[in-house]
Amino acid sequence: MKAIWLFGPRNARLVDTQKPSRNANEALIEVKSCVICGSDVHQWDGRRYHGPYPYDFGHETAGEVVEVGPEVRGLRVGDRVTWYLQHGSLCEYFAIRPSELAVGKMADHLSWEEGANVQLLCAVLRGVDNADPGPGKRALVLGCGAVGLTAIQGALTMGVDEVVAGDLIPFRREFALRLGASHVVDPGHEGWHTQLDPFDIVLDCVDEDRSPQGDTLDLALSLVKPLGCCVVIGLSSQLRRIDTSRIVNRGIRVIGAHHTDMARCREIMALSCQWVADGTIRVADYVTHRFPIEQTQQALELAASQAEGVLKVGITVAADE
């Protein structure tokens, strides 16, 4: 079968490898779409992964169940699924272990790309959930890539009254407004944070902090209300410098996006599937560029460029017949 492996920094190759066998506790998936995540780009260019190579790749994936092991419950052949989280799925067939994952069933009317983006939605909603969102609260989202755009929608869907969003790229700020942000800020402008009222929640979705005005997370912490919450969702490969007195003096809770409660993760996956299916949360427009699996190297180069108009890059693995 076709698969993508990394053979070194910035070196993704198409290989012909053996189709995986299915164990009794596994389901075999025919992969239809795999969408490139920011963390995939970090692995590809060597920022977050340094071998040993070769290394299989990809995790924001959707596909069709083609085999089900006798110990698997709740899945059957023909189900359209995505899952959180198991790496190495940028290939034609992939075996998942449902007992260890949060598996979501996709509605029939959704595209495979939407299904792959449901995995992203589940990941981000875990972080939003950690902030205890609800009525009467205001949130600031930093970084309006797909993670930040998802955080905007997730926070609003989970009940916050208002979301303000910040990004350096105009295209992404415009996207944030279309998806519900009340207004947007440019962290590249001097004093961008001085005109904002304090927030109950800050959701840090920054991939790489390129602001010339200092660390955006540090400045954002000055905007968190006493006893407010900051959730770090973005996987920056840079060291972030923050003034810890902002945390100490305001009693701010700083927490990561992920947690080990698989039961809650499965609840969030079910909500993610429901909210995308009924249109509450929109992920269909995230993929701005598409490539076949044979052109994954080019797809990664484009995703890494952060060029104007590029949001997420999708890989078509198997076309619908």
Looking at the fold, whether 247 and 155 belong to one and the same domain comes out as yes
Q: Burial-class residue 212 by CB neighbours within 10 Å (0-12, 13-18, 19+).
A: exposed
The count of structural domains within the chain is: 2
Looking at the fold, whether 165 and 49 belong to one and the same domain comes out as no
Residue 269 falls inside a structural domain: no
Looking at the fold, whether 35 and 64 belong to one and the same domain comes out as yes
- Report the b/e string of 96-130 with b at 16+ CB within 10 A: bbbeebbbbbbeeebbbbbbbbbbbbbbbbbbbbb
Residue 279 falls inside a structural domain: no
pLDDT value of residue 321: 43
The whole-angstrom separation of Cα 159 and Cα 157 is: 5
Looking at the fold, whether 250 and 181 belong to one and the same domain comes out as yes
The whole-angstrom separation of Cα 274 and Cα 118 is: 10
Residue 39 falls inside a structural domain: yes
pLDDT in tens, 179-219: 999 999 999 888 888 889 999 999 999 887 777 777 888 88
Q: Which of 204, 236, 256 is the last residue of a domain?
A: 256
Q: Cβ(125)–Cβ(151) under 8 Å?
A: no
Q: Cβ(186)–Cβ(219) under 8 Å?
A: no
Residue 22 falls inside a structural domain: yes
pLDDT in tens, 231-242: 999 887 777 788
The whole-angstrom separation of Cα 169 and Cα 311 is: 11
Looking at the fold, whether 152 and 69 belong to one and the same domain comes out as no
CATH of the domain at 75: 3.90.180.10
Domain of residue 157, residue span: 122-256
Count CB atoms within 10 A of the CB of residue 170. Answer: 11
Residue 262 falls inside a structural domain: no
Nearest residue to 8 via CA among 45, 39, 40? 45
Looking at the fold, whether 192 and 239 belong to one and the same domain comes out as yes
Per DSSP, the residues of 57-91 read: ---EEEEEEEEE-TT--S--TT-EEEEE--S---B
Looking at the fold, whether 144 and 185 belong to one and the same domain comes out as yes
Kindly report the length of the chain.
Answer: 321
Looking at the fold, whether 40 and 95 belong to one and the same domain comes out as yes
Looking at the fold, whether 106 and 151 belong to one and the same domain comes out as no
Residue carrying the six token digits 């993508």? 4
If you ran DSSP here, which 8-state letter would residue 34 be given?
A: E
Looking at the fold, whether 239 and 170 belong to one and the same domain comes out as yes
Q: Which of 241, 256, 271 is the last residue of a domain?
A: 256
Residue 264 falls inside a structural domain: no
Instruction: Provide the residue-wise pLDDT of the chain in tens; the chain has 321 residues.
Output: 999 999 999 999 999 999 999 999 999 999 999 999 988 998 898 877 767 899 898 999 999 999 999 999 999 999 999 999 888 999 999 999 999 999 999 999 999 999 999 999 999 999 999 999 999 999 999 999 999 999 999 999 999 999 999 999 999 999 999 999 999 999 988 888 888 999 999 999 988 777 777 788 888 899 999 999 999 998 877 777 888 998 999 999 999 888 768 899 999 999 999 999 999 999 988 999 999 999 999 999 999 987 888 999 999 998 554
What are the structure tokens assigned to 202, written together?
């800050």
Q: Tell me the HSE value of 18 on the side-chain side, using a 13 A CA sphere.
A: 3
Looking at the fold, whether 290 and 216 belong to one and the same domain comes out as no
Q: Burial-class residue 174 by CB neighbours within 10 Å (0-12, 13-18, 19+).
A: middle
Residue 169 falls inside a structural domain: yes
Say whether pTM exceeds 0.85: yes
Q: Cβ(150)–Cβ(181) under 8 Å?
A: no
Residue 293 falls inside a structural domain: yes
Looking at the fold, whether 148 and 235 belong to one and the same domain comes out as yes
CATH of the domain at 197: 3.40.50.720
